[in-house]
Structure 1
Amino acid sequence: MLKRVRRGAAILALMASAAACGGTAKPVAQAQPTIAVVATTTQVADLTRQVEGDAVQVTQLLRPNVDRTTSTRPPPTCRP
């Protein structure tokens, strides 16, 4: 009889702890800060956008279809 009581108490405790773990509350959405990323080539910029999604703001230095060895940026767009 004592074994049955212990076993029942153990099962009841297990069920109570399992019920406590399975909450139905939805997580609160927190605004994450956007990270500014500067990418040199279009490939790096595209890869960064695909991996990080909306979490980053990507600035790409080279335009598409431009040779990276001959490309120069005008002075007003280059800032320290």
Structure 2
Amino acid sequence: MDNIVKQLRVSQGFNLTQEELAKALGVSRHTIMSIENGGNTTGEMVLKIANFFGKDPREIFFTSNVAQSLQGQLA
């Protein structure tokens, strides 16, 4: 699943390592690495990440690439 988790994690406002974000969310670093690399995740984790960064989940996980892909499937 395309997302901007890594960009948010390393942004000036946060500047976190994968380990630091994982600890804050109560998951393993491997989980964060998987999500950043486009792996699937649970709805609960999507909400945890969105809440942590103070964003709507669609701003993080539904990037323009996903929207374009969905539009192509619906056409």
TM-score normalised to structure 1 length: 0.22
Find the structure with the greater CA-based Rg: 1
> More strand per residue: 1 or 2?
1
TM-score normalised to structure 2 length: 0.23
